[in-house]
Amino acid sequence: MFVYPLEFCPKRFCPVDNIVSSSFLAPGPDPGVTLDSALSMQNHISKVTQTCFYHIRRLKQVRKLLGPDIAAKFVVSLVFSRLDYCNAILAGLPRSTIAPFQRVQNAAARLVARLGPYDHVSATLKDRHWLPIEQRIVLKLCVLMHHVHIGLAPSYLRECVTASADVTSRPRLRSTSSQRYERPRTRLKFGDCSFSSAGPRAWNSLPSSLQELTDSKTFKRKLKTFLFQQACN
């Protein structure tokens, strides 16, 4: 079954406490994401992983004819574009679930650097400035939250989150005058995977110097550097 991805679906399709309700699984136009009834995302990850490894095998056949920079461009176009597509819906999933995506990225890095199957890829990822899978998911969430924060996001995304400064049901705290957003309480683990929870969680982890930026290009550049430094530490 194909449904709207969490990062683009209307609020009525991504309730926090009713995340497994039938309304969330309402059919929609094919967005390229496959959801199973348990919302484990394993079917989607398996399908994307299979496609990515197919392209990696095809690139191996011509790798000796390509320079490292050209090979990297092919990898970004054919492999990473698929790993990054709608990857915000993977927020909150266990590492073991998204591990196949990391194996794909590692295999792609070995292809570009012409490494053996058991060679470490950390140096290649660092040289190419390629974020690991977990950080790529956080990057997407933070970019969406940035658009919400500066008022460029669609209304259905803005309605999913609440700024701490807009909460009037409690005394004003230091956080209410900052750039932070509220994380709703959830009864189910699936609720932590929704944008209304995962988005503020990722955004609140950023330093205020990033949250205060209003230029999207500058924000994306500095955010990637920040996440890359986190991944390397």
Judged against a pLDDT cut of 50, whether residue 13 lies above it is answered with no
Burial 93-110 (b: 16+ CB within 10 A, else e): beeeebebbbebbbbbbb
Which amino acid type is present at position 164?
S
Judged against a pLDDT cut of 70, whether residue 3 lies above it is answered with no
Taking only the tens place, the pLDDT of each residue in 131-180 is: 999 999 999 999 999 999 999 999 999 999 999 888 766 555 554 457 89
Q: What's the CA gap between 103 and 23, in Å, rounded?
A: 34
Share of the chain above pLDDT 90, in %: 69
Judged against a pLDDT cut of 70, whether residue 23 lies above it is answered with no
> What average pLDDT is seen over the chain?
85
Taking only the tens place, the pLDDT of each residue in 55-97 is: 999 999 999 999 999 999 999 999 999 999 999 999 999 999 9
Helix axes 68-75, 42-60, angle to 10 degrees: 150
What is the structure's pLDDT at 31?
67
Q: What's the CA gap between 161 and 68, in Å, rounded?
A: 42
Residue 67 has φ and ψ, to the nearest 5°, of -75, 165
DSSP type of residue 34: B
What is the structure's pLDDT at 171?
57
pTM of the model: 0.83
Q: What's the CA gap between 59 and 122, in Å, rounded?
A: 21
For residue 173, count CB atoms less than 10 angstroms from its CB and return exposed for 0-12, middle for 13-18, buried for 19 or more.
exposed
Domains of the chain, by residue range, sit at 11-129, 136-232
